[in-house]
Amino acid sequence: MEKVMGLASENGLVIFSKSSCCMCYAVNMLFQGIGVKPVMYDIDQDPEGREMEKALMKLGGAAAAGPVPAVFIGGKFMGSTNEIMSAHLSGQLVQMLKPFHHSMS
Amino acid sequence: MKSSVHIIGYEFELEKYASFSPQTQRRLAQNREAARKSRLRKKAYVQQLETSRLKLVQLEQELVRARQQVSHLIKYTTQPNGAGIGTFEMEYAHWVEEQHKQVAELRRALQAHVGDVELRMLVENGLNHYANLFRMKADAAKADVFYLISGKWRTSVERFFLWIGGFRPSELLNVLLPQLEPLTDQQHAEVCTLRQSCQQVEDALSQGIERLQQTLSQSMALDQSIGGSYRVQMAAAIEKLEGLESFANQADHLRGQTLHHMARILTTRQAARGLLALGEYFERLRALSSLWAARPREPT
C-alpha cells in the first residue's frame, strides 16, 4: 500500500495498470484526448506487484471490476473506469485536471 | 421309432464294446470323457456370451440415460446466475413490447398537453426502462459476451449501426437534438460540452477495443505449439477476452450516463420529446429491418 500511495503522491496523475490491460489503455487514451499525459504504472512489471494489486483491490472496493485501471489525481484515489467516465461526462474531470493541463483540448 | 432304434443301436454298441481290448475300452472311455468335457465347456461359453450380451444391453441403456442427464445439466445449469442467453432474448422481447407502450404513452401525453408532473413521471419511467436494459445486458455479458456484442439479438439495421453491443451514444445525441430546438444558450453550451465529452469517451473505448483486437491477433499469430508455451499463450488470450465484458459494460454505462445528463440539461417537456424521438427512431429502424427482409426480389 505504501508503494502505491508513494507513487501516487510523487506524480500528479497516475494510472496503475497491467501491460495486458486494454481498458487501462482506453483510460490513458481518454486522458490524452483531453490534453493530459498520465503516468502509467504497470504493476505486473513490478516485483511487489502482488501486494500492490491487493492494495488497489482494497481501495476499489467490491464494486470495482478489477484492481486496474486505478486512477489517482493529486495523490487521491479517484476510482476506476466507471468513476472516470462518470466524472468526465459530468464535467468534473476537466475541473480536477486543470492544474495538470499541458495543452488545451 | 427313433428310441427303439437308438436302444437297439446302443445294445449293439454294448456288444461290440465288450469284444474290444481293455486298452481300446480305456481309449474309448477317455474319448467319451473328453467329448463330455468339451460339451460342458461349450455350454459354459455360450452361457457366458448370454450373460455378456445382457450386460451390454444394460450398459447401453445406462449410457443413454447418462447422456440425457448430461445434456439436461448443460442446458439448465451453465449460467450460474440464472441469466442465460435464452432468458435474455425473452426478456428483451418483453422490453421492446414495453418500450412500444411507453412511446405510445409519451406521444399521447405530449399531444394532450398534460402537466409537467405527469410528464416527469413518464420521463422517469423511460429512463428507468433503459437502465433495466443495461442491467439485463450486463447479465448477458457475463453469460456470453460475444453474443452480446455481436448484436445477434437486435434487428439487422440496428446491427448495421452497432457499436460495442448497442447504439453509438454520440449518434444518439445527433438523433435527439433536432427534435429539441429551441434550446436556451445555456442549454446549448451544456449539450455541446456533453456531446464532446461523450465523443471523447466513445473514442477512448473504441481505441481500447482496437488494441485488444490487435494484441490478441498478434499473440494468436505466433506458433507456440511446442511444449508448455501453447498453454501459456492460450491462457493469456483467455485473460484478454475476459476484458471484453468490461468494454461491454462501460459502453452501456456511457449510454446510460448520456441519457441521464440529457434529461438533466433539458426541461421536462423537452426530455419527454427527446425520449419520444429516440423511441420512434428505434421503432423505425426495426420496421426498416422487417421491410428489408420482406422486400420483393428477382427470382434466381
pLDDT per residue over B227-236, tens digit each?
Answer: 668 888 888 8
pLDDT of residue A36: 92
Q: How far is A2 from chain B (nearest CA, A)?
A: 28
- The strand ranges marked E within B252-297 are none
pLDDT of residue B87: 85
Look at the pTM and tell me if it is higher than 0.80: no
pLDDT of residue B2: 52
Chain B segment 129-168 residues within 8 A of A by beta carbon are: none
Instruction: Judge whether B267 is closer than 8 Å to chain A, CB to CB.
Output: no
The residue written with cell numbers 450460474 in the block is B80
Higher-pLDDT residue of A5 and B164 is B164
DSSP state letter for B167: -
Higher-pLDDT residue of B122 and B57 is B122
Residue A11 has φ and ψ, to the nearest 5°, of -120, 140
How large is the average pLDDT for residues B92-121?
A: 93
Contacts with A40 from chain B: Cβ below 8 Å: none
Residue pair A8/A14 in contact (Cβ under 8 Å)? The answer is: yes
pLDDT of residue B57: 76
How large is the average pLDDT for residues B88-105?
A: 93
- Nearest residue to A88 (alpha-carbon basis) of B55, B261, B36: B261
* Cβ contact, residue pair B207, A29, below 8 Å: yes
How large is the average pLDDT for residues B205-209?
A: 97
pLDDT of residue A66: 86
Which residues partner with A73 through β-bridges?
A13, A76
Residue pair A100/A34 in contact (Cβ under 8 Å)? The answer is: no
Which of B8-17, B180-189, B252-261 has the weakest average pLDDT?
Answer: B8-17
How large is the average pLDDT for residues A16-40?
A: 94
Residue pair B134/B256 in contact (Cβ under 8 Å)? The answer is: yes
| Mean pLDDT, chain A, integer | 88
- Nearest residue to A88 (alpha-carbon basis) of B132, B253, B174: B253
| Mean pLDDT, chain B, integer | 88
Q: What confidence category does residue A84 fall into, taking pLDDT thresholds of 50, 70 and 90? A: very high
Contacts with B211 from chain A: Cβ below 8 Å: 22, 25-26
pLDDT of residue B71: 64
pLDDT of residue A103: 47
Q: How far is B183 from chain A (nearest CA, A)?
A: 19
* Cβ contact, residue pair A27, B204, below 8 Å: yes
pLDDT of residue A105: 41
* Cβ contact, residue pair B193, A33, below 8 Å: no
